[in-house]
Amino acid sequence: MNTISKSVVAVILGGGAGSRLYPLTASRSKPAVPIAGKYRLVDIPISNCINSNINRMFVLTQFNSASLNKHIKNTYHFSAFSTGFVDILAAEQTPDNPGWFQGTADAVRQSLRHIRNMDFEYILILSGDQLYQMDFGEMMESHKNNGADITIATIPVDERDAPEFGILKTDEQSYITSFIEKPKKELLPEWASDTGADMQKAGKHYLASMGIYIFSKQVLYDLLNTAHPNATDFGKEIIPDSISNFKVSSFQYDGYWTDIGNIYSFYEANLALTQEIPPFNLFDNNKTVYSRARMLPPAKISGTTLEKTIIAEGSIILASRLEQSVVGIRARIGHGTTIVSTYIMGNDYYETIEEMAINKERGLPMIGIGERCYIKDAIIDKNCRIGNDVRINGGKHLVNTDHALYTVKDGIVVVKKQAVLPDGFVI
């Protein structure tokens, strides 16, 4: 076991109820939401840890955690000769704390009793709903070299994005001197930083917290249990107060990073994977994204024109055209169908020929997408049954709405998990 894996324990925060990602979070927690056709959001921070030689991880969760538990149990197995693990810590009622997690800091505080007996010097705190590829070893080096008590990963952002984040300023030694959570637009001019020539050329003048922290062990214990025993949130309470009392350092990251906070950012992040040179590189030997290894056949495609499209294994595609789309595992798409700018999550199982025949008699479309459909600007959740001649035309002309079968948010139509859209259905 190398030095970094001996000295660091990672804590991945599962997030709240994920209401901004509804309906994808109606029956699953945010970290369990499928991404890129074959992964789940939680695979991203876990893979970043494994690629950084950090192999002791806790995932903190409290909402709809069954599918997340199942995914982690079926995916992350370390050798019997390794000390590595990925453990779920669900919110639990105890005599001294009868409540749910009240926020990020409270979640970590409640979990400390499961972590405190382990041998480590640093705690790496990560979010379960971000898309990025980062070497935490470099951040760890920066933490040690700066003699920091806390290191915050930061990213340059522009004026449009800055009010969404905690914005900070640093001195010449990269120590953070001031911090403001989600500043109003008119306050921004006084929060501009020297982010480097390239970033300033791109209009990125503000340093934003990525919600990725390294704490020296004792500092975290003191902050959560002694200095702020009632604080619930890192960004709003712990971090701003620590700046004057501790050495808080910034580690500036210049790679691709996106916070999957809402349906639009989730949709954009998935479709960005279809670009010629995508900002998030799934095809990198040194930055593997790990997930559950499924024993699926290769995809089968017949008579389809494909343009900038990612297709996961196990798919059967007879469509006429797929353009700028991501197609998930075991997806089925019928003859004459056109799919444009859409993320199809795929299916959890195959129907047998007998099941298809019985369903046809009952007037139930088979699992997948039928024939002669047109689907644009949409997200199709898992195990949907979409009949023939269905038209889904997403876009800004649609008003936000929540229907029993689908939700429209920011012009994107999200067909709900296991929804059945009959032949000729139009959105």
Q: What pLDDT score was predicted for residue 357?
A: 92
Distance of CA 94 to the CA centre of its chain: 29
Rounded Cα distance, 293 and 321, in Å: 29
Rounded Cα distance, 305 and 320, in Å: 6
Rounded Cα distance, 178 and 372, in Å: 58
All domains of the chain in start order, with CATH: 3-269 (3.90.550.10), 300-421 (2.160.10.10)
Sign of CA dihedral 257, 262, 264, 269: positive
Q: What pLDDT score was predicted for residue 189?
A: 87
Neighbours of 107 (CB within 10 A): 25
Q: What pLDDT score was predicted for residue 259?
A: 87
Tell me the two tokens of residue 253: 């990251």
Q: What pLDDT score was predicted for residue 93?
A: 53
Non-local CB neighbours of 12 within 8 Å, separated by 6+ positions: 31, 42, 45, 46, 57, 58, 59, 60, 126, 127, 128
For residue range 347-400, list pLDDT tens digits in order.
999 999 999 999 989 999 999 999 999 999 999 999 999 999 999 999 999 999
> What's the one-letter identity of residue 248?
V
Q: What pLDDT score was predicted for residue 101?
A: 66
Q: What angle do CA 147, 252, 133 make, to 5 degrees?
A: 110
Under-50 pLDDT residues of the chain? 1
Q: What is the DSSP letter of 45?
A: H
Burial class (CB in 10 A: 0-12, 13-18, 19+), 370: buried
Q: What pLDDT score was predicted for residue 1?
A: 46
Closest C-alpha to 55, from 89, 27, 81, 22: 81
